[in-house]
């Protein structure tokens, strides 16, 4: 800030004034009342839980900002290599409880506020989720931020501050209904609006080619649309450290120059339209999980956010005064899927067109900076922007993509002379009418490292999706980083009683920073007293969920039954349909039983939750089917003691925090080879739930850690799936008639080879096994404890350390005490 430099005396006074005060209960109360009366203009006679939540939130925010300031100032003085995590989604959920726990001040706050007549547990419930993501991909980004802060890495998250997050779901007559999620109605204490940090972003227009001073061509982009990106900072506190890092989310605003031009020309409506068009860029999160929709506004969102982000990163780099060749020593950029991939092209453009580097010099820098995480192999989820759309919005970027492709294919041609089919297959441009850009190929060609998110997935990425690129670039470019989840939110915060039991048993809280320490619980797995405490906590979590279900589904579920949960986005590949068929089958079996046999059944509550993309017809019909089945099953008075079925509306982070600690078993039953990793599977086991799952994604690695006796895996392996699909498609599959029970039985046995199309049968078998196991309470408790104690590997701290060491090459930088 060149305008103002404090004199030494002023700097000293400043330091004295900003020195943190001791956080006594009295000081907390002062701050609380101060915010209630000044920030909110309330009085003691005009308070309610929501106002009390806001007052607490603003005072916790002050604590965050202090830590955040000192972390950022320290990073600025050291100027280390930083990682920038670029993601179109950050599924953060609530912040207050998390901030209180990570800062280690929850009890003090709760006591202080109690004496002012408020209950912290109630206040925490007042907060609306920051739901700026669809599912696993967005939640992973949020877990990674928690780990980056906790492990003291110099890191920034960058994304979009959507005005509307993922829609709210209600169930009307059994159907999903969507409602807008305007989460900012009452302001947001967890962000700092930075009206001083803005960057211009441009779209459209043409590119003019002219002769440059040194003889080569220079390209000038003359855009037709200009908007402004405004920064909003979300401080992310680490657990048990002073490090507080930043997620910077951009919001779009109209650019004044343009507005005035049309306004003065008397084109009032045109100028208003330009204003609203500009603001619309960051209005809505696209509600598709694992599905690509080629919408122009989505591409605008992508470019808008990477354009602002790169200007911010470059501004920070330029403060070092070092030459461009040093850029990769200060900057690592991680692309969370291909969604920010246009940022690669943007950096190449800036270096050439604005900074005057030549192509090769720019390319050397770009390819040292970027790395890319692939999150799916499903073809319908892979981004392919059409060339006409890219040309229209980003004409200069389109030229650069063609150049990247040209140089790439030229070198492929040198390696494999005359193999035109190979060039066609590997080209970044897919031929067709119109042509399109394969964003994943663009990312693979430009990034130094490409990773999948679980062992099996990374294997498929290398052997199927990008096999020819592995051959061409070498296997060294490709790697695996298995996903993880933060134990702070997903155990300590969501399941405080279990966290306290673990801390008491291990005589330290250190396991929350090194999850592998959970293994020490294994020695207590058969201890009846420990088992009793462990299962008592599960029972109380189940009661809590039962209350939620009573309030939201109007069904009184039996808390002693097995709680059998499938909560995730509704998708064909995740096979909620197979699960509901299995439930209906179970219901029909119950109908046939005599009272005597019925009385011996293990009671079960089947719990579904999850959103469908608004335009995904089949997924919506699955929701309707579940609700219709629930209406039949729950009202059968003879069997409802043994089987109940609920669909809990509006699955989100906060609801997950209630459901996950309450499950006995959870289902992760995707067709083998389709679920890249899954992350809720890790959360369920961490909370003492067991998995019923297929041999897919991270289930496999979870099973390796727990041992096969503490996980219920079933079904065929990935390589068999294609084979079986083929047989089904071409009519050699076998149709089943109920009269053919013995035939089915032999198919089930595997007499005729692996029974993949009969996976529903194997699913049913597995459920019978679960019933049998659940009846032996001690054995079940032991499995639950041993499984949870094996989850050390699945902390997002381990994932982040893997990325830092093998991909980003950055080190922790703990702030001085």
Instruction: Give residues in contact with ligand B1H (CB under 6 A).
Output: 134, 136-137, 140, 286, 288-290, 292, 337, 375-376, 381, 453, 483, 675-679, 697
Minimum CB separation from ligand B1H for residue 324, in Å?
Answer: 33
Annotated catalytic residue: which of 35, 226, 375, 604? 375
CB closer to ligand B1H out of 28 and 137: 137
Distances (CA, A) of 60 to 55, 100, 105, 223, 612: 9, 7, 9, 43, 35
Minimum CB separation from ligand B1H for residue 284, in Å?
Answer: 12
With tokens 């040292």, the residue in question is: 368
CB closer to ligand B1H out of 352 and 485: 485
Asked if residue 741 has a cis previous peptide bond (ω within 30° of 0), the answer is no
Answer whether 582's CB lies under 8 Å from 630's CB: no
> Is 300 among the catalytic positions?
no
Where does residue 93 fall: left (phi above 0), alpha (psi -120 to 50 degrees), or beta otherwise? Answer: left
CB closer to ligand B1H out of 35 and 139: 139
Residues 575, 608: Cα–Cα separation, whole Å? 12
Adjacent-strand bridge partners of 248: 158, 233
CB closer to ligand B1H out of 384 and 391: 384
CB closer to ligand B1H out of 292 and 408: 292
Annotated catalytic residue: which of 683, 782, 783, 798? 683
CB closer to ligand B1H out of 286 and 408: 286
Residues 689, 684: Cα–Cα separation, whole Å? 5
**Apex 250 CA angle, 245 and 252, nearest 5:** 165
Treating both helix axes as pointing N-terminal to C-terminal, what angle do 528-553 and 777-789 enclose, rounded to 10 degrees?
90
Residues 358, 493: Cα–Cα separation, whole Å? 52
The dihedral built from the CA positions of residue 408, 412, 417 and 419, taken in this order, carries a sign that is negative
Residues 107, 431: Cα–Cα separation, whole Å? 62
CB closer to ligand B1H out of 271 and 458: 458
Minimum CB separation from ligand B1H for residue 582, in Å?
Answer: 22
State phi, psi for 689 to the nearest 5 degrees: -95, 155
With tokens 């991270």, the residue in question is: 698
- Dig out the tokens for 721 from the structure: 């799936």
- 339's CB contacts (< 8 A; 6+ apart) are 87, 88, 302, 383
Residues 599, 40: Cα–Cα separation, whole Å? 58
Annotated catalytic residue: which of 574, 611, 763, 798? 574
Closest to 563 (Cα-Cα) out of 584, 580, 539: 539
Q: Which residue is nearest to ligand B1H (CB)?
A: 136
Answer whether 68's CB lies under 8 Å from 244's CB: yes
State phi, psi for 733 to the nearest 5 degrees: -65, 165
> Is 568 among the catalytic positions?
yes
Distances (CA, A) of 83 to 148, 348, 575, 640, 760: 10, 19, 37, 53, 45
Number of other residues whose CB lies within 10 A of the CB of residue 179: 10
Annotated catalytic residue: which of 75, 477, 489, 568? 568
> Is 375 among the catalytic positions?
yes
Minimum CB separation from ligand B1H for residue 675, in Å?
Answer: 5
Minimum CB separation from ligand B1H for residue 232, in Å?
Answer: 21
Minimum CB separation from ligand B1H for residue 292, in Å?
Answer: 5
With tokens 């969102």, the residue in question is: 301
Closest to 306 (Cα-Cα) out of 499, 120, 84, 2: 84
Annotated catalytic residue: which of 35, 82, 226, 569? 569
CB closer to ligand B1H out of 302 and 499: 302
- 41's CB contacts (< 8 A; 6+ apart) are none
Annotated catalytic residue: which of 449, 679, 706, 766? 679
CB closer to ligand B1H out of 59 and 301: 301
CB closer to ligand B1H out of 130 and 331: 130
Minimum CB separation from ligand B1H for residue 374, in Å?
Answer: 8
**Residue 10, burial from CB neighbour count under 10 angstroms (0-12, 13-18, 19+):** exposed
Minimum CB separation from ligand B1H for residue 421, in Å?
Answer: 29
Closest to 374 (Cα-Cα) out of 443, 477, 467: 443
Minimum CB separation from ligand B1H for residue 759, in Å?
Answer: 19
CB closer to ligand B1H out of 634 and 671: 671
Determine which helix (DSSP H) or strand (DSSP E) holds 747, and give its type and residue range. Answer: helix 741-749
Closest to 485 (Cα-Cα) out of 206, 211, 794: 794
Minimum CB separation from ligand B1H for residue 379, in Å?
Answer: 12
Strands 155-160 and 244-254: parallel
CB closer to ligand B1H out of 147 and 271: 147
Minimum CB separation from ligand B1H for residue 123, in Å?
Answer: 31
Answer whether 342's CB lies under 8 Å from 350's CB: no
Question: Which residues in 308-463 belong to E strands, given as ranges?
Answer: 331-336, 370-373, 384-386, 429-430, 436-438, 449-452
**Apex 169 CA angle, 164 and 175, nearest 5:** 140
**Residue 519, burial from CB neighbour count under 10 angstroms (0-12, 13-18, 19+):** middle
DSSP 282: T
Minimum CB separation from ligand B1H for residue 598, in Å?
Answer: 39
CB closer to ligand B1H out of 66 and 430: 430
> Is 574 among the catalytic positions?
yes
Distances (CA, A) of 363 to 325, 331, 344, 375, 431: 11, 15, 10, 26, 25
Looking at the annotation, which residues are catalytic?
A: 375, 568-569, 574, 679, 683
């Amino acid at each position: 800030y060149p305008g103002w430099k404090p004199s030494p005396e002023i700097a000293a006074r400043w330091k004295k004034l900003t020195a943190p005060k001791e956080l006594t209960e009295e000081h907390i109360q002062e701050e609380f009342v101060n915010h209630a009366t000044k920030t909110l203009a309330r009085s003691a006679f005009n308070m309610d839980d929501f106002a009390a939540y806001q007052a607490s939130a603003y005072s916790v925010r002050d604590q965050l900002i202090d830590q955040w300031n000192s972390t950022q100032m320290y990073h600025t003085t050291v100027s280390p290599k930083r990682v920038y995590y670029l993601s179109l989604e950050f599924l953060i959920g609530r912040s207050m409880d998390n901030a209180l726990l990570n800062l280690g001040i929850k009890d003090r706050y709760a006591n202080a506020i109690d004496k002012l007549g408020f209950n912290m547990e109630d206040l925490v419930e007042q907060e609306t989720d920051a739901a700026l993501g669809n599912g696993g991909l967005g939640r992973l980004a949020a877990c990674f931020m928690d780990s980056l802060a906790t492990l003291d890495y110099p890191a920034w998250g960058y994304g979009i501050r959507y005005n509307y997050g993922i829609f709210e779901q209600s169930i009307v007559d059994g159907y999903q209904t969507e409602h807008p999620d305007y989460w900012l109605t009452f302001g947001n204490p967890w962000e700092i609006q930075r009206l001083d940090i803005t960057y211009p972003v441009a779209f459209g227009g043409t590119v003019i080619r002219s002769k440059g001073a040194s003889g080569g061509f220079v390209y000038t982009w003359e855009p037709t649309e200009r908007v402004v990106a405004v920064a909003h900072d979300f401080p992310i506190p680490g657990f048990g450290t002073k490090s507080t890092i930043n997620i910077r989310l951009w919001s779009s605003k109209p650019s004044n120059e343009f507005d005035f031009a049309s306004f003065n020309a008397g084109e009032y409506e045109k100028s208003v339209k330009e204003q609203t068009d500009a603001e619309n860029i960051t209005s809505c999160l696209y509600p598709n999980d694992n599905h690509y929709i080629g919408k122009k506004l989505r591409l605008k969102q992508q470019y808008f956010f990477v354009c602002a982000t790169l200007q911010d990163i470059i501004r920070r780099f330029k403060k070092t005064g070092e030459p461009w060749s040093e850029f990769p020593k200060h900057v690592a950029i991680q692309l969370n899927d291909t969604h920010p991939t246009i940022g690669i092209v943007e950096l190449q453009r800036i270096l050439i067109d604005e900074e005057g580097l030549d192509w090769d010099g720019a390319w050397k820098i770009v390819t040292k900076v970027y790395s890319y995480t692939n999150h799916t192999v499903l073809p319908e989820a892979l981004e392919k922007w059409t060339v006409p759309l890219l040309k229209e919005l980003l004409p200069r970027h389109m030229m650069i993509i063609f150049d990247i492709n040209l140089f790439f294919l030229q070198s492929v041609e040198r390696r494999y002379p005359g193999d035109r089919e190979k060039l066609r297959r590997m080209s970044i441009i897919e031929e067709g009418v119109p042509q399109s850009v394969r964003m994943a190929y663009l990312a693979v060609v430009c990034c130094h490292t490409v990773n999948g998110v679980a062992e099996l997935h990374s294997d498929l990425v290398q052997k199927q999706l990008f096999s020819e690129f592995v051959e061409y670039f070498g296997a060294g470019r490709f790697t695996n980083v298995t996903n993880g989840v933060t134990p702070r939110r997903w155990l300590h915060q969501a399941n405080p009683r279990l966290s306290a039991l673990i801390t008491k048993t291990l005589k330290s809280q250190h396991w929350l920073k090194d999850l592998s320490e959970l293994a020490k619980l294994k020695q207590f797995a058969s201890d009846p007293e420990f088992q009793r405490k462990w299962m008592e906590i599960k029972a109380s979590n189940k009661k809590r969920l039962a209350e939620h279900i009573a309030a939201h589904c109007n069904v009184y579920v039996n808390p002693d039954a097995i709680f059998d949960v499938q909560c995730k986005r509704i998708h064909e590949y995740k096979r909620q349909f197979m699960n509901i068929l299995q439930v209906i089958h179970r219901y029909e079996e119950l109908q046939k039983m005599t009272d005597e046999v019925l009385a011996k059944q293990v009671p079960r509550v089947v719990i579904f939750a999850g959103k469908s993309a608004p335009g995904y017809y089949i997924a919506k019909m699955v929701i309707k089917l579940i609700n219709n089945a629930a209406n039949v099953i729950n009202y059968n008075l003879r069997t409802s003691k043994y089987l109940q079925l609920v669909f809990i509306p509006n699955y989100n982070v906060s609801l997950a925090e209630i459901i996950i600690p309450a499950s006995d078993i959870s289902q992760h039953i995707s067709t083998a080879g389709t679920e890249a990793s899954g992350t809720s599977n890790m959360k369920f086991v961490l909370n003492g739930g067991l998995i019923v799952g297929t041999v897919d994604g991270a289930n496999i690695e979870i099973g390796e850690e727990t041992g096969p006796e503490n996980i219920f895996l079933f079904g065929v392996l990935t390589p068999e799936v294609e084979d079986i699909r083929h047989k089904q498609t071409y009519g050699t599959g076998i149709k089943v008639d109920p009269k053919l029970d013995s035939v089915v039985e032999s198919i089930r046995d595997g007499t005729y080879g692996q029974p993949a199309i009969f996976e529903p049968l194997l699913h049913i078998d597995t459920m019978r096994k679960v019933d049998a196991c659940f009846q032996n309470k001690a054995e079940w408790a032991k499995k639950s404890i041993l499984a949870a104690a094996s989850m050390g590997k699945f902390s997002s701290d381990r994932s982040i350390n893997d990325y830092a060491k093998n991909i980003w090459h950055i080190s922790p930088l703990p702030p001085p005490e």
